[in-house]
Amino acid sequence: MNKRREKAIVAALLRFEKSLRSRKTDFLLKRGSEEHKLITDIEKHPHAFVIGCVLDRVIKAEKAWAAPYKLKRRIGGFSFPKLRRLTRKGWKKHLGPQKNDPEKIHRYWETVMPDCLFSAIKVIDKYSNNRGKAQYMWAGDNLRGKDVVDRFKEIRGVGDKIANMAVRILVTRFEQPIETASIDISVDRHIARVVRRLGLIGKNTPKSQEKKVIVDKARELYPKFPAFIDLPIFIIGRDYCHKTNPNCGGCPMSTLCDHALHKRKPAPKTKAKRKRMKK
């Protein structure tokens, strides 16, 4: 793909990202709802955001962002000292089905998730000298975005994808002054599908190398903040670019996308077909 088209794609993604900010939802939750208030309370409950990030695997993102509020109701509060007192068993009890509420807060409530949340509390305490202030995870002079990503990755169960996403949100949604050039795109199946269909990476890129190739491509396309194009691509993948029958007509990338452009072109008639038609 030529550079001019790549630039046009980036510009379209940035425009789409801007349009997302005026949506009625934030964190995929209704603005002003109790769930939304807790996950966005970065001043008094920054640990709620960290816990939401840890829960954001194998379940829908909106369910993960709403989970801290659900846990708050089950635990009877969400102050850090209260969470610090929870053992792994305690987390398991609150994550699983309750007598009066059969909903499991996470698919892995019985297995790894209690450990992951227990570990999150330990890491928050580590970086705030046992003061329970999660904001110290992303505070500090000369701290690079990558350093914050690495701190998130110290939490059990948090890998590149969630850690980069968490730091990207801290910058874009919470306006935390974190260096951005070293924060990478978080590659998941939605992102990989859209990037491939747009033509930003080769169709024949082997699956085993796909993640690295996409990370490198995002660094090349938007070097000052590679993770910034993550959200618009993710939303396009989730809302328009379905695995089968992508809704190219409604997609903001339709005039620039390889896949959509090829779909529109009539298939070239072969000699054999022309002969058959003449008969």
Residue 232 in 3-state DSSP?
helix
Q: Is the dihedral of CA 89, 159, 173, 177 positive or negative?
A: positive
Q: How far is the CB of 4 from ligand SF4 (least distance, A)?
A: 18
Residue 8 makes CB contacts below 8 A (sequence gap 6+) with 256
Query: Please, which residue, 79 or 247, has the CB nearer to ligand SF4?
Result: 247
Residues 206-245: x/- map of binding to ligand SF4 (CB under 6 A)?
------------------------------x---xx----
Selected from 64, 198, 218, 231, the binder of ligand SF4 by CB under 6 A is: 198
Cross-strand pairs, 26: 29
Query: Which range of residues in 83-91, 118-126, 135-143, 250-258 is near ligand SF4 by CB under 6 A?
Result: 250-258
Query: Please, which residue, 19 or 79, has the CB nearer to ligand SF4?
Result: 19
- Contacts for 237-245: CB closer than 8 Å, 24+ residues apart: 237/189, 237/190, 237/191, 237/193, 237/194, 238/190, 241/190, 241/193, 241/194, 241/197, 243/193
Query: Please, which residue, 161 or 259, has the CB nearer to ligand SF4?
Result: 259
Number of Cα atoms under 13 Å in the Cβ half of residue 127: 22
- Using only C-alpha atoms, the chain has a radius of gyration, in whole angstroms, of 22
Distance of CA 61 to the CA centre of its chain: 8
Instruction: Read off the DSSP letter of residue 266.
Output: P
Q: Does 246 bind ligand SF4 (CB under 6 A)?
A: yes
Selected from 72, 168, 217, 259, the binder of ligand SF4 by CB under 6 A is: 259
Selected from 149, 194, 200, 201, the binder of ligand SF4 by CB under 6 A is: 194
Q: How far is the CB of 236 from ligand SF4 (least distance, A)?
A: 6
Selected from 251, 264, 266, 269, the binder of ligand SF4 by CB under 6 A is: 251
Are the C-beta atoms of 104 and 95 separated by less than 8 Å?
yes
Q: Does 174 bind ligand SF4 (CB under 6 A)?
A: no
Residues 73-92: x/- map of binding to ligand SF4 (CB under 6 A)?
--------------------
| Sites of contact with ligand SF4 (CB under 6 A) | 194, 197-198, 236, 240-241, 246-248, 251, 253-254, 257, 259-260
